[in-house]
Amino acid sequence: MSTSVPAPYAESRPLPPYRALFAVDAKDFTGLPAVQHGPVSQLIPELVDQALERAGLHALRDSKRFPANTGDGVVFGFDPALLPFALWPFLGVLDDILGAYNRQCVGPRIRLRASVHVGPLPDADNPGDGNGTARNDTHRLLDSRPVKAILAAASEQVTHLAAVISQRVYEDVVLGAYTGLHPDRCVEIPATVEGKTFSQRAWLYVPSPSGNLVQAGVQPREDSAAEAGAAADQDQDQDRAPVARPGTHYSGNTQHVSEGAAVMGSVGRDITYTGGSTTYHGTHQHWGGGDNVAGDKRVGEAGDHR
């Protein structure tokens, strides 16, 4: 055997280049009839490429690093310099592409979870390139319980995409103001995966929120800056209900959440997680494991495997 496995901490070696990572997978893919698996598996990368084209990211579409079809989705690396554009406008355009497809399709709806991350990965056109912690974390973020819960709770007629952005990307790209995606459109979540020793801080972005997400103050892309300013003015009015800001905790109703997503009533712009036995009394939610969303929540229906 010619391939040797390096021993950790035995010596110093060059750090692999940093690569941005984008991954998507489809909600309810495993619940589809077997005859639809192949066509849907081929359709997802086509829709992603259409969105890249329409977003003007021709270079990214044509220069993907270590691309892979995962069956129910795709994953690929790319130049981190393009991360600002991958967040905005690409995610919004992908949501539009999915919406247009779902409105006219005769087959199953395609609703996707997406994750965006960055980190050092081997990329020298060798077998095994693209594998490493950053790649693993990208898939863990994609499978995290809050993202699954949010997409399951949202209207399938309106919300076609839920994206999770890693803390590293959020700090460097969003808070660095290199992208058109405003921080107020992102909600902090604890990214945990059932059965995995994975827990990271991450940020949820839903281009077309619906139902409980709208009640919670997650803004659609078309909301104007003037409306955001009006919300800020309302926050200054002591006679009105407070508007929660990112990073704050709303206490008008009580929610205690272990893992997953809890959304109820009008909680400004913040969705707060905290996390175990499931009880619900009036306007209070006390939560352990699972997915908890007040209102019309479509989790656990027949065929819902995600």
Q: Please name each of the domains of the chain with its CATH number.
A: 18-214 (3.30.70.1230)
> In angstroms, rounded to a whole number, what is the distance separating the alpha carbons of residues 171 and 185?
14
Point out the least confidently predicted range of 91-105, 194-208, 264-278.
264-278
H helices of 73-178, in order, are 83-85, 91-104, 133-142, 145-153, 167-169
> What's the whole-number average pLDDT of the chain?
78
| Angle at 151 (CA atoms; ends 198, 265), nearest 5 degrees | 105
What is the SS3 assignment for 205? strand
CB crowding 159-189: b at 16 or more within 10 Å, else e: bbbbbbbbebbbebbbeeeebebeebbbbbb
Q: What is the mean pLDDT of residues 144-162?
A: 93
Residue 240 has pLDDT above 50, yes or no: no
pLDDT tens digits, 213-222: 665 556 666 5
H helices of the chain, in order, are 34-54, 58-62, 83-85, 91-104, 133-142, 145-153, 167-169, 212-215, 225-236
Point out the least confidently predicted range of 85-89, 151-155, 210-214.
210-214
State the pLDDT at residue 43.
Answer: 94
Point out the least confidently predicted range of 32-41, 126-135, 233-242.
233-242
